[in-house]
Amino acid sequence: MTGPSLLPRWATGVAVLARARAALVAAIGVALLVATACGSTSPTQVPAGSPASTAQGGPTARLTAKPGPTATALPTATAASASPAIAGATQVACPGSVPSAHRGRLVTGQSRNWAGYIVGATKGHVTCVEGTWAQPAVRCSASDTSVAIWVGIDGSSAVGGLPDASATLAQTGTSGDCVNGRPQYGAWYEFLPDLRHIEPFHLPVAAGDRIWAQVRWLGKGKFVATLINLTQQVGTSQTWTLRTAPLLTAEWVVEDPAASCSGGSCTFVTLARFAPVTLTGAVTISGSRYLLGTVPFPYLRTTMYRSGHVLAQPSALTSRGFSVAWKSS
């Protein structure tokens, strides 16, 4: 396979899977580098009826973010039109106008456990990202398997020569896990480097449920992660402050968790056999709102590839989004 190498990573417990990210590497023109920080964590395997999380057991070293803009120098987030209130949360679209834009350059690459798309703001700052998907059903066998779907800000590093953005991360999403041969579904959020493990959202999730996820910068370093189950009409949110966040990349990703990570190297659990999932969404960059497939900045398309096999394959990008199909485990 040709193209850049990407190595995001996860760490898990016995019944609880926590994600760690490693480096994503790509090239646009002379160089396009996408990397994730060491020592991060991610979605957990959540037993039905009792969400839980665990401390990440991998290395503690993390990349240090290069100096970025101060929060007060960035545009203030403003509210967009809100949908009718949902129990526990309100669905508010990423703010800004919706310009007609020419899609930026697309580069393809490989990742050991990511499948999806990353956008790098080579000008301006990412202040909001959102995505919608139907929770894919997972097919279980006797072995434990897992898959997660999420959106986030700053999960990757330099795209098109940008400074490293991967020492911080704000993200939220859902997971589908097979535990003792039975499917389980959950919801979670994560803010790095503050949290050393993911935090479960106490939100019901079932196969086929329509999910809306958003991570939004509110100014002065404050973020809010919102996750809404549109099918069950319930939602929840969590605010956090990450004062050094560079606000340089946005991600829409289907991910496979790792069993353990040490010294920058990870071993992975078996990817759950999941039904095809379609992600749509939008992103706000310096006050302008773009649909997922119309951003005038560089894209990186990642195919999950490991041990000589394609595990998960993202489709071509349309104006609104893309789909990801399971290929092998």
**DSSP per-residue letters across 36-69:** --TT---PPP--TT--------S----PPPPP--
CATH classification at residue 300: 2.60.120.700
Say if CB 58 and CB 11 are below 8 A apart: yes
Cα(30)–Cα(145) distance, rounded to whole angstroms?
38
Residue 209 has a pLDDT of 98
How large is the average pLDDT for residues 210-227?
A: 97
Q: Round the CA-based radius of gyration of the chain to a whole number and report it.
A: 18
> What's the number of domains the chain is made of?
1
283 dihedral zone (left: phi>0; alpha: psi -120 to 50; beta): beta
Cα(187)–Cα(150) distance, rounded to whole angstroms?
10
Kindly indicate the confidence band of residue 70, based on its pLDDT and cuts at 50, 70 and 90. Answer: very low
How large is the average pLDDT for residues 240-259?
A: 90
Strand segments, DSSP code E, in 135-269 are 138-139, 145-153, 169-179, 182-192, 199-201, 210-219, 222-229, 234-241, 249-255, 258-262, 265-268
Cα(296)–Cα(105) distance, rounded to whole angstroms?
8
How large is the average pLDDT for residues 318-324?
A: 94
Cα(58)–Cα(40) distance, rounded to whole angstroms?
8
Pick the residue with more confidence: 136 or 43?
136
5-35, pLDDT tens digit by residue?
333 333 333 233 333 333 333 333 323 333 3
Distances in Å between the Cα of 262 and the Cα atoms of 11, 37, 126 are: 9, 13, 31
Domain hosting 61: range is 5-326
Location of structure tokens 């349309």: 318
Burial group, residue 320, by CB count within 10 angstroms (0-12, 13-18, 19+): middle
Considering the chain, what is the average pLDDT of its residues? 76
How large is the average pLDDT for residues 119-137?
A: 96
Task: Judge if pTM exceeds 0.75.
Answer: yes
Other C-beta atoms lying within 10 Å of the C-beta of residue 12: 29
Pick the residue with more confidence: 247 or 83?
247
What is the per-residue burial (b if ≥16 Cβ within 10 Å, else e) of 200-228? bbebebeeebebbbbbbbeeebbbbbbbb
Amino acid at 266: C
In the predicted structure, residue 181 carries a pLDDT above the cut 70: yes
Cα(184)–Cα(207) distance, rounded to whole angstroms?
9
